[in-house]
Chain A
Amino acid sequence: MATEELVRIDNLKKHFKISNGIFRKNTVVKAVDGLNFSVYKGETLGIVGESGCGKSTTGRLLMKLLEATEGKMYFEGEDVSTWDKQKLKARRRDFQMIFQDPYASLNPRMIVEDIIEEPLKTTDMSKEERKARVKQLLDDVGIPQDYRTRYPHEFSGGQRQRIGIARALALKPKFIVADEPVAALDVSIQAQIINLLVDLQEEYDFTYLFIAHDLSVVQYISDRVGVMYLGKMVELSESDDLYENPLHPYTQALLSSVPVPDIHHVKDRIPLEGEIPSPDNPPSGCPFHPRCPIAKQHCKEEVPSFREITEGHYVACHEVK
């Protein structure tokens, strides 16, 4: 695996202020609270976590769809915050996004070929070149050429997702954030799209940040996986290593909760009591301590640091030695 850094984020934070009315104090929701990681060229980095853990906010921050409250982000070594509007616009073609709901992200009044062609209009390609590129993209994502004059509503969910993928690929980006790209699809269609995403990466040679709540899917598609909990990353490691040797108690519980379609699969369920606390009032110390089966006194007081335990395997837990 290449080890050249494509994206690096440094203590990235996003806090949302929520107004509770005129007379009450505003609360601050710490959706993302101090993230540090790198995405290497050509890899797929998976981000997994339950609802409200901040995984989608992370994706949006990396796409510059949201402005970070604090922290730095580097793209190919350049500090993104120093980019002005023009520079950002020029660089946007290098990072693209695939959304969960392809219907909501496709303009219902545009036909498919126009949807895919639209990003190409920002380049100096000629009309013929653009048409040829659209044709190529349709082939790449497996949409028959006869369908190019149809509207999004004429397609099934899986096909709409293919169109969304074609649009994201149009400018040959270097970095793609895929936010729950298969969550809305049926299993048999989901497998088609996963295979397509894998094949396209080989063909186009880009880097994925793959965000999903489904641990089996994330683990299947990713080279490395980061597990998030309440706005923080609690564990990051190579995908197989994470499955075989999860270190953080939350990762262990999460893995043991995933229903596996195999009746001979033996596992010791680690039951988690209670539910995820609200991110506007996160627990002190380690955010996981109220639900953690091995929590000690110091877990309530000190925030654990995110440290490397074995090579490439990072954990934020006091109890992991």
Chain B
Amino acid sequence: MSEYIMEVNDLKTHFHTKTGVVKAVDGVNFKVKKGEILGIVGESGCGKSVTSQSIMRLVGSKSSEHVSGEVRYHGEDLLLKTEREMEKIRGKDISMVFQDPMTSLNPAYNVGTQIAEMPEIHEKKPKKAAWKRAVEMLTKVGIPSSEKRAHQYPHQYSGGMRQRGVIAMSLACDPDLIIADEPTTALDVTIQAQVLDLLRKLRDDTGTAIMMITHDLGVVAELCDRVAVMYAGKIVEEGTIEDIFDRPKHPYTKGLLNSVPRPGRRERLQPIEGQPPNLQNLPQGCRFQDRCPFVMDKCLAQQPELLPAESEQHTVACWLEEEGQPDGDRGTRKNRQPEEAL
């Protein structure tokens, strides 16, 4: 078996709408190693959630949704599977955790039953054994008096506990990949810290790989081994967290890191001016050109590819890599109105 459990090659998800084609994901390549936590980070509309939904084949069934490329899971292309085959994979081999636990749980069934459903269906376990497994999972994710709690309904759980319940459900069949789409965004910081600790511990104990989709660079720094930074439907930089946080190469990655206020620091924030391009009307060339302080003629004409920078594992899609890095952290671009492009 290869070192990678998943290889995504040239994944494209385009939505055909009345007003034009929305290129939500436009040629994304990445790999997930066994047992690693890969962060996919980016701002709203960069395509990080659509990427995960395309992998799980949650988009692509309607005629307006066009998914192309390859999603190789243990060598087999998930995009070629039938819906019936996918049903066997979802929840068993690859499971998902969403942002809002209340929408992932059925309010009409108690939590234990919903978790027990997984081994019942996927592993054909008898009801009693499946229930036992459900209680075991709830204990594992740190729900106190899980025996009793398994009989309770989602509304009797607090927000943090519901998310633990959903994580318990995603773990019930020992998947080798969990896709977590903003799992802590709806939670308060102290509860978020508990859930992040839990995810890390589960990975260490079970060896499950986690794909962590988030907008929060703090969460990435705390949890992930490797990171892919997305912008306007493409990955612009990928590397280990040391690569991304200590030696960021792409002006967008640098801009993101400079935009975040950090506790205990007072220097003026350096925001990225402007806003992301319209996905229906993408510029020719690099997608970051309108906001990039180092933009060159080449950037306007041709799209840079994701190529190795300092090392094989640290890849960057930026023409600056060819031309050599500019001096200083940021260039200056005068006469720019904030949010000039509408």
Contact residue among B188, B219, B260 (Cβ-Cβ distance under 8 Å from A50): B188
Contact residue among A154, A244, A260 (Cβ-Cβ distance under 8 Å from B221): A260
- Among B8-16, B95-103, B334-342, the one that faces the other chain is B334-342
Least Cβ–Cβ distance between A80 and chain B, in angstroms: 32
Point out the residues of chain B lying under 8 angstroms from A264, CB to CB: 246
- Among A58-66, A69-77, A92-100, A191-199, the one that faces the other chain is A191-199
A147 to B337, CA, bound (A): 13
Chain B, range 221-241, C-beta contacts under 8 Å to A: 221-222, 241
Does A105 have its Cβ within 8 Å of any Cβ on chain B?
no
A217 & B261 in contact (Cβ 8 Å cutoff):
yes
Does B263 have its Cβ within 8 Å of any Cβ on chain A?
yes
A147 & B342 in contact (Cβ 8 Å cutoff):
yes
Point out the residues of chain A lying under 8 angstroms from B256, CB to CB: 187-188
Interface size on B, residues (CB 8 A): 51
Does B196 have its Cβ within 8 Å of any Cβ on chain A?
yes
A191 to B291, CA, bound (A): 14
A213 & B342 in contact (Cβ 8 Å cutoff):
no
Does B217 have its Cβ within 8 Å of any Cβ on chain A?
yes
Interface of A is mostly: helix
A257 to B264, CA, bound (A): 15
Least Cβ–Cβ distance between B262 and chain A, in angstroms: 6
User: Looking across the interface, which residue of chain B has its beta carbon closest to that of A182?
Assistant: B261
Interface centre among B44, B189, B222, B259 (most CB of A within 10 A): B189
Chain A, range 118-140, C-beta contacts under 8 Å to B: none
Does B193 have its Cβ within 8 Å of any Cβ on chain A?
yes
A243 to B270, CA, bound (A): 22
A258 & B196 in contact (Cβ 8 Å cutoff):
no
Does B191 have its Cβ within 8 Å of any Cβ on chain A?
yes
Does B272 have its Cβ within 8 Å of any Cβ on chain A?
yes
Chain A, range 208-230, C-beta contacts under 8 Å to B: 213, 215-217, 219-221
Does B268 have its Cβ within 8 Å of any Cβ on chain A?
yes
A189 & B275 in contact (Cβ 8 Å cutoff):
yes
Interface size on A, residues (CB 8 A): 50
Does A21 have its Cβ within 8 Å of any Cβ on chain B?
no
A276 to B191, CA, bound (A): 10
B340 & A144 in contact (Cβ 8 Å cutoff):
yes
Least Cβ–Cβ distance between B190 and chain A, in angstroms: 5
Least Cβ–Cβ distance between A240 and chain B, in angstroms: 7
User: Looking across the interface, which residue of chain A has its beta carbon closest to that of B268?
Assistant: A195
Least Cβ–Cβ distance between B113 and chain A, in angstroms: 24
Contact residue among B193, B259, B275 (Cβ-Cβ distance under 8 Å from A187): B259
Does B282 have its Cβ within 8 Å of any Cβ on chain A?
no
Point out the residues of chain A lying under 8 angstroms from B268, CB to CB: 195, 198
A276-309 to B contact mask, C-beta < 8 Å, 1/0: 1000000000000000000000000000000000
A189 & B263 in contact (Cβ 8 Å cutoff):
no
A88 to B338, CA, bound (A): 37
Does A51 have its Cβ within 8 Å of any Cβ on chain B?
yes
A319 to B159, CA, bound (A): 30
Does B266 have its Cβ within 8 Å of any Cβ on chain A?
yes
Interface centre among A51, A189, A243 (most CB of B within 10 A): A189
A255 to B262, CA, bound (A): 11
Point out the residues of chain B lying under 8 angstroms from A190, CB to CB: 259, 271
Does B146 have its Cβ within 8 Å of any Cβ on chain A?
no
- Asked if A259 meets B160 with Cβ closer than 8 Å, knowing A51-B188, A215-B263, A240-B264, the reply is no
Interface centre among A51, A263, A264 (most CB of B within 10 A): A263
A261 & B221 in contact (Cβ 8 Å cutoff):
yes
- Asked if A275 meets B160 with Cβ closer than 8 Å, knowing A220-B266, A260-B221, the reply is yes
Chain A, range 228-270, C-beta contacts under 8 Å to B: 240, 243-244, 253-265, 269
Least Cβ–Cβ distance between B131 and chain A, in angstroms: 26
Point out the residues of chain B lying under 8 angstroms from A189, CB to CB: 43, 271, 275, 339
A156-196 to B contact mask, C-beta < 8 Å, 1/0: 10110010000000000000000000000011111110111
Name 8 interchain pairs, CB-CB below 8 A, sorted by A: A186-B215, A187-B259, A192-B273, A192-B339, A194-B269, A195-B268, A243-B263, A271-B194
Contacts A144-B337, A194-B271 supplied; 7 other A-B pairs, CB < 8 Å? A144-B340, A154-B342, A191-B259, A198-B268, A256-B193, A259-B192, A276-B188
Task: Name the 10 nearest CB pairs between A and B, nearest first.
Answer: A259-B218, A191-B271, A220-B261, A261-B217, A191-B259, A257-B193, A186-B43, A50-B188, A188-B272, A142-B338
